[in-house]
Structure 1
Amino acid sequence: MYILLALIAACALGIALHFLMPERALRGVVVTPGIATAVAALVYTGMQWAGVGEDSIWLWLASIGGGLLLAALATLGLTATRRRSDAAQKAALGI
């Protein structure tokens, strides 16, 4: 049941991260929070299976912090890819 707390925290912080990162117009609103929540779920579940208890701070830091870190990196990568793709399309169209 504690996994819900980690997922809600990762999603809420992912929403905040979306608004803090530049070039929001090049990506969807749900991309960053979705990645953060999915990664947090995977890390939390993996660490629980590995035997880390729910009272361990490392479980919470790794799941929420790791989710936010990977979401930020993935968002930056997706934004850069979108920027390059848009530039290539404009060049192809002669704009």
Structure 2
Amino acid sequence: MYILLALVGACALGIAVHFLIADRELRGVALAPAIATAMSAILYTGLQWLGVGEDSIWLWLASVPGAAVIAAGATVAVTTLRKRSDAAARTALGI
């Protein structure tokens, strides 16, 4: 049940990541929150399987702000790739 707290927290931070990173028009509004939520679920579940208890700060640091950091990196990467792709398409079209 505690996993829901981690997922909601990571999703909220993912929304903040979306608005803090520039070039929002180049990506979908749900990209950063979706990545943060998925990574939070993966990290929380993985650490639980490894035996980290729900009372451990490391579980919460990895699954909430850690997932937001991963989402920020992925969002920057997607935005950069989109800029390069758009520039290549403009060059190919002679625009």
TM-score by length of 1: 0.97
Separation in 2 of the partners of 1:51 and 1:88? 48
Give identity over the alignment, percent.
65
Q: Which runs of 5+ in 2 are unaligned?
A: none
Separation in 2 of the partners of 1:49 and 1:29? 32
Instruction: Determine the structure 2 residue equivalent to 1:30.
Output: 30
Per-residue CA distance 1:33-57 (angstroms, 9 max, x = gap): 0000000100000000111111111
Offset at residue 66 of structure 1 (A):
1.8
Instruction: Determine the structure 2 residue equivalent to 1:90.
Output: 90
Give me the CA root mean square deviation.
0.6
Letter in 1 for 2:12: A
Contact 2:40–2:63 under 8 Å retained in 1:
yes
Instruction: Determine the structure 1 residue equivalent to 2:46.
Output: 46
- Runs (4 or more) in structure 1 with deviation over 2 Å come to none
Instruction: Determine the structure 2 residue equivalent to 1:15.
Output: 15
Q: Which runs of 5+ in 1 are unaligned?
A: none
Separation in 1 of the partners of 2:56 and 2:16? 25
TM-score by length of 2: 0.97
Letter in 1 for 2:94: G
Equivalent residue runs for 1:48-87 within 5 Å: 48-87=48-87
User: Secondary structure of 2:40's match?
Assistant: helix
